[in-house]
Each structure stands twice: as structure tokens, then as C-alpha cells.
Amino acid sequence: MAAPVIGFPASPLLVFNVAAYSSSSSRPAIIPVSTAAGHGRPRVLPHFTDLRVSVCQRRLRSLMVTYSAKATRRAMVVCEAEAKAGAIEENFQVTVPDVTKATWRPIVLECDKTVVVEFWASWCEPCRVIHPVISNLSESYKEKIRCFKINTDENPDIVSEYGIKSIPTVVILKSGKVVEKVIGAVPETTLITFIEEHLDK
């Protein structure tokens, strides 16, 4: 008995979804229409092909919509988590007050505690690294020291007076006099070592 004549689907991705079974074997057999019919011109069964393509297209659209929805939900969760983390970090970071040429003497020189001053500028990338370090020190030693920062672009006279050649530079003063000058975005432990040396015992 001859195998049933099966037409090839329009999409090459769906070729292996179409199969015919012969009476002598349980294995699927795909037979070109031209061979089975004995004619030189291939014949296609459009109703079968259209059915397969239509079903696959509907499933593909369904899968795409499901994947898109899941990806959107994951992105929303990640963004929300990052926003919360940023808010928590911002809330825990202590704001270090600025000083200027006008406030330098009463705030820095006349302070009765050890003073830590960060010389910085808005365009300085390493300064952004040292900002949270000074903030942490301000909180950790709030009973023993006073921390400030001064913008070098806005206060060139102070920069010149204290010989600041590069930034960030952290200056430690005690009784209005410079006792340490630390250049660069150094680790917090380095600053702690210098600060501990000049605290009132």
C-alpha cells in the first residue's frame, strides 16, 4: 500500500512537524508530492499547510507576549530594588558642611576640636571617592572632631595660603595649625590613623 501523500509546509522551520506513516513501518516518512503522484509538477495541500502555520504562529505570538511580560516584570523589580538601595545609602550618608574664605577663621581656625578639611572641586573624580570617607569619619568621630570641605575653585586664596597643589587633599588642623596633610583618595583606615594621632587623650 502506498504511503499517503503529504505536502511540505511553507516554513522550513516546520518541516519536521509534518509526517506520514506507511503501513509497513511505524517510522514517519515524508514523501515529495511529485514522487508519490508520478507527475513532474509538485502538488501541495494548502489546507494542511495553512493549518500548521496558523497554529504555530499563534503559539509563537503567545510565547512572545508571555516572555515580554516576564522580562518587563523582572526589569521593574530590579529598578525598584536599585532605587531603594540608593535611597538607603543617601539617608545614611552624613552631609559634610562647606566652608569658605569668609567662614574659614571662625569655623576652622577657632574650633576647639581637631578639624578635618577636604579640599575638592566639582570636576574632580577622585574627590567623589573621598566624599563618603569624610562623611563616615564625621559620623564616627562626631564627639571628637569636626569635618568640613572647601571648594578650591571658589576659594583660591585659601588654596594658595595652604599650598594645595593637587586634589583631593585632606588637611588636619589642631588649634588652628596644620598637623597633617594627606594627598589623594586614600583609604578610610589611612585617615583614621592620622586622626587618632591628634585626638585629645
Q: Is 147 annotated as catalytic? A: no
Shortest CA distance to 53 belongs to which of 5, 7, 11?
11
Q: Who wins on pLDDT, 112 or 44?
A: 112
**Band of pLDDT at residue 51, cut at 50, 70 and 90:** very low
pTM confidence score: 0.55
| Length, in residues, of the chain | 201
- Any residues with CB less than 8 A from the CB of 53 and at least 6 apart, and which? 9, 10, 11, 14
What type of residue sits at position 196? Answer: E
Report whether pLDDT(83) > 60.
no
Q: Which three cell numbers stand for residue 35?
A: 514522487
Q: Report the percent of the chain where pLDDT is more than 70.
A: 53
Give me the pLDDT at residue 56, please: 57
Sign of torsion over alpha carbons 161, 162, 167, 172 = negative
Q: Who wins on pLDDT, 174 or 1?
A: 174
Give me the pLDDT at residue 95, please: 87
Q: Which three cell numbers stand for residue 13?
A: 522551520
Give me the pLDDT at residue 200, please: 76
Report whether pLDDT(102) > 60.
yes
Q: Which domains does the chain have, with CATH numbers?
A: 1-92 (no CATH), 104-197 (3.40.30.10)
In this structure, what DSSP letter does residue 122 have?
T
Give me the pLDDT at residue 138, please: 93
The β-bridge relationship of strands 169-174 and 145-151 is unpaired
Q: What is the C-alpha to C-alpha distance for residues 65 and 54, in angstroms, rounded to an integer?
A: 17
**Band of pLDDT at residue 61, cut at 50, 70 and 90:** low
Burial level of 185, CB count in 10 A (0-12/13-18/19+)?
Answer: middle
Q: Which residue has the cell 545614611?
A: 92
Give me the pLDDT at residue 68, please: 62
The β-bridge relationship of strands 145-151 and 177-183 is unpaired
Q: Is 56 annotated as catalytic? A: no
What type of residue sits at position 60? Answer: L
Q: Which of 56, 79, 124, 147 is catalytic?
A: 124
Q: What is the C-alpha to C-alpha distance for residues 45 and 29, in angstroms, rounded to an integer?
A: 16
Q: What is the C-alpha to C-alpha distance for residues 66 and 68, in angstroms, rounded to an integer?
A: 5
Residue 151 contacts residue 124 (beta carbons within 8 Å)? no
Q: Which of 56, 79, 111, 127 is catalytic?
A: 127
Give me the pLDDT at residue 82, please: 52
In this structure, what DSSP letter does residue 116 have?
E
